[in-house]
Chains A and B, each alone.
Chain A
Amino acid sequence: MNPGTSETIDGYLFDVYPSADGVVVWLLSTTGRRYRCLAPFTPSFFLHLSDFDAKRALLLGAQCPARVSFNRTTHTEIYSGESWDVLQVFVHNPLQFKKVVWYYERFFPHFAFFNSDVLVPQLFLYETGLFPLARGEYVIDEQNHLLTWTINDAREAMDYSLPPLSILWLRDANSFVPPKYRKYVQLEVSYDGRTYALEQHNPREVLETLNWHLHRSDPDVLITEYGDSILLPHITGLAQQLNVPLLLNRDPHAGYATTRESSFFQYGKIVHKDGAFELAGRWHLDEKNSFTLGEADLEGVFELTRLTQIPVQRQARASIGTSMSSMQLSWAYRNNVLIPAKKREPEEFKPASTLMLADRGGLIYNPPLGYHEEVAELDFVSMYPTIMVERNVSPETVNCRCCRNERVPELGYTICEKREGVIPATLRAVVERRSHYKRLKKLNRGKNEAEFRKYDHRQNALKWMLVSCFGYLGYKNARFGKIEAHEAVNAFSRDAILRAKEVAERGGFRMLHAIIDCVWLKKSGATEHDYEELATEIGKQAGIDISLEGIYRWILFPASKQDPVITTANRYVGWYRHDDIKIRGIESRRRDVPQFIKTMQQAMLDHMAAAQNVAEVQAMLPELLMIARNHIAVLRSGKANPMELVLRRHISKEPDEYENNSISAVVSKMVKAMGVSLAPGEMIEFIILDQSGTRKPEKAKPLALYAFEDGYDIEQYTEFALKAVETLLFPLGYDVGRLKVELGVGAPRKAGRRVVPQDRGRVGVQTFQIPLFASVGEP
């Protein structure tokens, strides 16, 4: 090649997607120019076959739907650590990669395939070591072929620059209910600080105006609400119908990459996921279909995309499991480890006696019911990820074939001493990055708001990875997962809590409550310094850092919903001495509780901020009852804002599959009758009109059909309100029955809850089971 014809671009890797001759790579230069380049790339997968079958595979190449070539090589099998002879199959048209895999799947069983179900852009990035948003010097020729590059950046870097991006927002101007519930959408676009309504007279004009805005702003990013499920499918469908070529894609040669919506079991729950609508040369991000975008903004998406090597559009829509999996795949590539196409490592056969020991979750001590003072909370810092990283817990290291040390407490499983597992190897970076960003966030608090937010977003994106990494280890479809690894983590965590308890009790502290990685301790007159010292000692003994969250002025462990004399784990509220409130599991924090009820309970809690101890809480009783009375009076007058009475539920079945007459059944059938399709796992929003169904047979109305004259079920909402008041006042002697009398709300029901005196709760030991596996076909 003539060196004079090449150009060096100082810029960022913006996007990668497959084409017939390799992959299309988009670059954004630091000067603001965009380049579409072509990088030659031949993706490959591996077959582990007998010699005879390997010969057959070569012969079968002749009839293959795309040109293939072969290479015999050796790679490492992850569980045994052995070198395996494998046949590498190169696919010369990356667009046909899947087809070629399918072709071979007709001849060989699933366990012969490795690295065969990874997407081509990711294969390209793993093999080249490139990553989205990598800053570097990229050399291209006159035909825009990407020739070579020098990366002045690293995937591990925590201080990195990002390209300036232009953004265009596209949304339905009426955001009151999601567009799927409406017959018409009124589009508006925003960019450069201005918003334009697309109010043309006919669809063609709307499309042409949209094109004009796209042309004028040429955005790098298109951010929508419901773009995946409604807007873009609808707009592009219309464009096809009216024969108006749209400028959504920056790449005129490429189509749109779409996937279908799906409902599936995850961690024992049915969840719904919208399809995706991805663009070429421009990112489409749907705010309503991106967990990371919602939790951690663009900054969080960028942090993950660099780390996971999943291109931005896919990363924004990816589950946390997919993100973790990608880091593991990348590790596998770097270490020449084969990636099985199907997860198939089963549980080892073990005696039922061991199974019963192993099958327990984290440790839980139920708290004593009621209000308590002088209680401190200590949290183990990232307990599960720390255990995995520090103890080297990974599918291939637990009960490895090379060592014998029975290192896992109670269970006696062995942990490999010879190699670091894929889980710790990939998780370590996440743990370190998060603590680094948390430090920087703290440094910038109150000084530099933009920096503070940036680091907060980054650490938040990583937080969800750390929160989920443990569950994912046991998830049935996790690429590298194994039950024994999951059990080992639980065993280590139980051990840590037990050690914390021992150390605390030796120091004269009483353990009131413990949940997996947090403990609540009490000692009369103990100071912050005392607790800090205790934390240091526990950290030393347990091998995991534990930090003082704070000392409570008062903390309430409310009664369980099922049984008024006991409490449940992870349901509490309290004010810290440092003026922060912590709420878990009670109404004001629950998604399934109407806003009105939350507001009322929050008003009571805000009032309780002034109480310095339990006696002062008790003295506030008349004022607290007054707050409740005022809210309930509004509710009973019929003048509550119905928008604050909206309830949200995830449906578990298709509307037609409901056989009962529950509210979910009634509402989802009404939604379906509107012509809106609902899939299991999707959310419905509704207002209860008559829970009993005696006055109004429809019981409830979906928000989209609701009119103010429909009213609401006063008694039912009063009941919700009374329950929320009871949560706070039950230990002070007020159950729903007594509240009704006190607040003058009708006659008390027969089945009023017994009022028990404070602190009669039981401290019991029980284990907590995190729902782990999606049970297939469970009703």
Chain B
Amino acid sequence: MSMGGHGAHGRYPPPPAPHSSLARPVLQAEELVQRFSRPPGKVYLLYGDRPVFDLSMNIASAMLAEGGHVVVADGGNRFNAHAVIRFAQYGKRNPDDFLRRIFVSRSFTCYQMEQTIVNRLPEVCRKQQANTVLILGLLDTFYDEQAPFREVRQILVRVLATLHELKRAGVSLLLACTDRQVLPEERNILFTTVKARADRVYRLDVRPEVSRLILEQEELSTPIIHRSGNEVPPAKGGDRYGTYRTDLHEHHRQRDRQLVEVPAGTPQGRPGTLR
């Protein structure tokens, strides 16, 4: 399968350049797709210029072409159904079939994003037997100043824990986001955190003359979840997070290393919360 010619931005990416001045390997998108699809169970980060979303849509379409189901959590209104249709048409496949197998939820606040990922995503993956998840603009809603930084960091901890939980259950997750400096400065640590927790990090570098996909970080041996579960350093002044400081999903990981059914739509649908 070829990734060429589908994206709005022409070829993704160019043939690999001979290793010369580049310290980091430059890759073809095929390589990313292949690595991402098999074996399942990984968290990849793809970041860079805006076309990361076009590329992500193509990767999702490639997964659909292989017959599976794909789930998309969209935090930046980046989902583009037309890209899926174009991809299907290009491969002489039925676009409606593709559109019926890709499930989307859009979030406009980080609170919604948390709810989508922590409480809804595991369920929809199981229900649809999808083992490919695309998260578009994971942090876009986290940069909203109306959400206090302290809260945003805690949400990210819970979100990342769920993503890695899904990974353990055999789901491959691709997080796509643009490379941007955000203000206030302190919020840049959110991206650093996401990057540090990804198994592989790819950067898409789009230039007029040549676009490149660069592998920035290979599989790390860092354990997925620390017992403390608190990768994000606490704020100055040492806020305490009480019981939520510890790994939220410890109990069901200990039980059987399987996901636990989360009832649909219960805002408090967190295992261990009594009603």
Indicate whether A352 sits within 8 Å of B140 (C-beta atoms), given known contacts A340-B267, A344-B267, A775-B76: no
Indicate whether A477 sits within 8 Å of B242 (C-beta atoms), given known contacts A77-B267, A401-B265: no
Indicate whether A343 sits within 8 Å of B109 (C-beta atoms), given known contacts A108-B244, A775-B76: yes
Provide the residues of chain B in CB contact with A773, threshold 8 Å: 77, 108
Q: A481 to chain B: closest CB distance in Å?
A: 10
**Is B28 an interface residue, CB under 8 A from the partner?**
no
A349 CA / B127 CA spacing, docked (Å): 11
Provide the residues of chain B in CB contact with A84, threshold 8 Å: 268, 275
**Is B102 an interface residue, CB under 8 A from the partner?**
yes
A775 CA / B79 CA spacing, docked (Å): 13
- Whether the pair A351, B244 counts as a contact (CB closer than 8 A) is no
Indicate whether A56 sits within 8 Å of B267 (C-beta atoms), given known contacts A355-B104, A776-B108: no
Q: A754 to chain B: closest CB distance in Å?
A: 30
Indicate whether A111 sits within 8 Å of B104 (C-beta atoms), given known contacts A351-B99, A352-B84: no
Q: B110 to chain A: closest CB distance in Å?
A: 9
**Is A53 an interface residue, CB under 8 A from the partner?**
yes
Q: B94 to chain A: closest CB distance in Å?
A: 11
- The contact of B275 among A85, A106, A349, A477, by CB within 8 Å, is A85
- Whether the pair B143, A350 counts as a contact (CB closer than 8 A) is no
Q: A439 to chain B: closest CB distance in Å?
A: 39
**Is B96 an interface residue, CB under 8 A from the partner?**
yes
**Is B273 an interface residue, CB under 8 A from the partner?**
yes
**Is B71 an interface residue, CB under 8 A from the partner?**
yes
- Whether the pair A477, B109 counts as a contact (CB closer than 8 A) is yes
Name, among A477, A773, A776, the residue most crowded by chain B CB atoms within 10 Å (CB to CB): A776
- Whether the pair A80, B265 counts as a contact (CB closer than 8 A) is yes
Indicate whether A352 sits within 8 Å of B151 (C-beta atoms), given known contacts A343-B112, A345-B112, A346-B120: no
Q: Is the interface of A mostly helix, strand, loop or mixed?
A: loop
CB-based nearest B residue for A774: B108
**Is A672 an interface residue, CB under 8 A from the partner?**
no
- Whether the pair B112, A344 counts as a contact (CB closer than 8 A) is yes
- Whether the pair B240, A348 counts as a contact (CB closer than 8 A) is no
Provide the residues of chain B in CB contact with A56, threshold 8 Å: 242-243
- The contact of B141 among A80, A85, A776, by CB within 8 Å, is A776
CB-based nearest A residue for B158: A109
A349 CA / B150 CA spacing, docked (Å): 28
Provide the residues of chain B in CB contact with A109, threshold 8 Å: 151, 154, 158, 244
- Whether the pair A777, B273 counts as a contact (CB closer than 8 A) is no
- The contact of A477 among B101, B146, B264, B274, by CB within 8 Å, is B146
Q: A397 to chain B: closest CB distance in Å?
A: 14
- Whether the pair B77, A350 counts as a contact (CB closer than 8 A) is no
- Whether the pair B242, A346 counts as a contact (CB closer than 8 A) is no
Q: A276 to chain B: closest CB distance in Å?
A: 18
Chain A residues numbered 527-558 whose CB sits less than 8 Å from any CB in chain B: none
Provide the residues of chain B in CB contact with A344, threshold 8 Å: 109, 111-112, 114-115, 267
- Whether the pair B108, A476 counts as a contact (CB closer than 8 A) is yes
Chain B residues numbered 161-214 whose CB sits less than 8 Å from any CB in chain A: 180, 182
A352 CA / B146 CA spacing, docked (Å): 30
**Is A186 an interface residue, CB under 8 A from the partner?**
no
- Whether the pair A349, B104 counts as a contact (CB closer than 8 A) is yes
**Is A107 an interface residue, CB under 8 A from the partner?**
yes
A454 CA / B121 CA spacing, docked (Å): 53
- Whether the pair B244, A342 counts as a contact (CB closer than 8 A) is no
**Is A79 an interface residue, CB under 8 A from the partner?**
yes
Chain A residues numbered 170-207 whose CB sits less than 8 Å from any CB in chain B: none
**Is A52 an interface residue, CB under 8 A from the partner?**
yes
A120 CA / B180 CA spacing, docked (Å): 40
- Whether the pair B144, A776 counts as a contact (CB closer than 8 A) is yes
CB-based nearest B residue for A83: B275
Name, among A84, A346, A347, A350, the residue most crowded by chain B CB atoms within 10 Å (CB to CB): A346
Chain B residues numbered 99-131 whose CB sits less than 8 Å from any CB in chain A: 99-109, 111-116, 120, 124
- Whether the pair B106, A483 counts as a contact (CB closer than 8 A) is yes
**Is B228 an interface residue, CB under 8 A from the partner?**
no
Provide the residues of chain A in CB contact with B108, threshold 8 Å: 476, 773-774, 776
B214-257: CB near A (< 8 Å → 1, else 0) gives: 00000000000000000000000001111110000000000000
Provide the residues of chain B in CB contact with A264, threshold 8 Å: 146
- Whether the pair A777, B275 counts as a contact (CB closer than 8 A) is no
**Is A306 an interface residue, CB under 8 A from the partner?**
no
- Whether the pair A347, B107 counts as a contact (CB closer than 8 A) is yes
**Is B272 an interface residue, CB under 8 A from the partner?**
yes
**Is A51 an interface residue, CB under 8 A from the partner?**
yes
- Whether the pair A107, B241 counts as a contact (CB closer than 8 A) is yes
Provide the residues of chain A in CB contact with B268, threshold 8 Å: 48, 77, 84, 111-112
Q: A653 to chain B: closest CB distance in Å?
A: 13
**Is B20 an interface residue, CB under 8 A from the partner?**
no
**Is B259 an interface residue, CB under 8 A from the partner?**
no
CB-based nearest B residue for A50: B274
Q: B258 to chain A: closest CB distance in Å?
A: 21
Provide the residues of chain B in CB contact with A80, threshold 8 Å: 265-266
**Is A110 an interface residue, CB under 8 A from the partner?**
yes
Provide the residues of chain B in CB contact with A107, threshold 8 Å: 240-242
Q: A82 to chain B: closest CB distance in Å?
A: 7
Chain A residues numbered 122-154 whose CB sits less than 8 Å from any CB in chain B: none
Q: A58 to chain B: closest CB distance in Å?
A: 13
**Is A105 an interface residue, CB under 8 A from the partner?**
yes
CB-based nearest B residue for A79: B265
- Whether the pair B112, A352 counts as a contact (CB closer than 8 A) is no
Q: A703 to chain B: closest CB distance in Å?
A: 31
Name, among B108, B115, B143, B275, the residue most crowded by chain A CB atoms within 10 Å (CB to CB): B108
- Whether the pair A349, B81 counts as a contact (CB closer than 8 A) is no
A345 CA / B84 CA spacing, docked (Å): 27
Chain A residues numbered 33-76 whose CB sits less than 8 Å from any CB in chain B: 48-53, 56
A566 CA / B104 CA spacing, docked (Å): 35
- Whether the pair A777, B140 counts as a contact (CB closer than 8 A) is yes
Provide the residues of chain A in CB contact with B120, threshold 8 Å: 346, 348-349
Chain A residues numbered 316-362 whose CB sits less than 8 Å from any CB in chain B: 340, 342-353, 355-356
Q: A340 to chain B: closest CB distance in Å?
A: 7
- Whether the pair A348, B105 counts as a contact (CB closer than 8 A) is yes
- The contact of A53 among B71, B242, B267, by CB within 8 Å, is B242
Chain B residues numbered 77-98 whose CB sits less than 8 Å from any CB in chain A: 77, 79, 81, 84, 96, 98
Q: B150 to chain A: closest CB distance in Å?
A: 8
A264 CA / B154 CA spacing, docked (Å): 24
Q: A722 to chain B: closest CB distance in Å?
A: 37
Provide the residues of chain B in CB contact with A477, threshold 8 Å: 109, 146
A775 CA / B241 CA spacing, docked (Å): 30
Q: A355 to chain B: closest CB distance in Å?
A: 5
Q: B19 to chain A: closest CB distance in Å?
A: 36
- The contact of A777 among B182, B243, B266, by CB within 8 Å, is B182
CB-based nearest A residue for B78: A775
A477 CA / B109 CA spacing, docked (Å): 8
CB-based nearest B residue for A351: B100
A105 CA / B240 CA spacing, docked (Å): 10
Provide the residues of chain A in CB contact with B107, threshold 8 Å: 346-347
- Whether the pair A347, B106 counts as a contact (CB closer than 8 A) is yes
Chain A residues numbered 754-776 whose CB sits less than 8 Å from any CB in chain B: 773-776
Provide the residues of chain B in CB contact with A343, threshold 8 Å: 109, 111-112
Provide the residues of chain B in CB contact with A49, threshold 8 Å: 273
For the complex of A and B, the 8 pairs showing the least CB-CB separation, nearest first, are A476-B108, A344-B111, A353-B99, A346-B112, A107-B242, A352-B99, A346-B116, A342-B111
5 contacts between A and B (CB under 8 A): A84-B275, A108-B244, A111-B267, A344-B114, A346-B113
- Add 12 more A-B contacts to A110-B111, A350-B105, A355-B104 (CB < 8 A): A50-B272, A82-B275, A109-B151, A110-B155, A342-B111, A345-B112, A346-B113, A348-B120, A349-B104, A352-B84, A776-B144, A777-B140
A residues whose Cβ falls under 8 Å from a Cβ of B: 48-53, 56, 77, 79-80, 82, 84-85, 105-112, 264, 340, 342-353, 355-356, 401, 476-477, 483, 773-777
B residues whose Cβ falls under 8 Å from a Cβ of A: 71, 76-77, 79, 81, 84, 96, 98-109, 111-116, 120, 124, 140-141, 143-144, 146, 150-151, 154-155, 158, 180, 182, 239-244, 264-268, 272-275
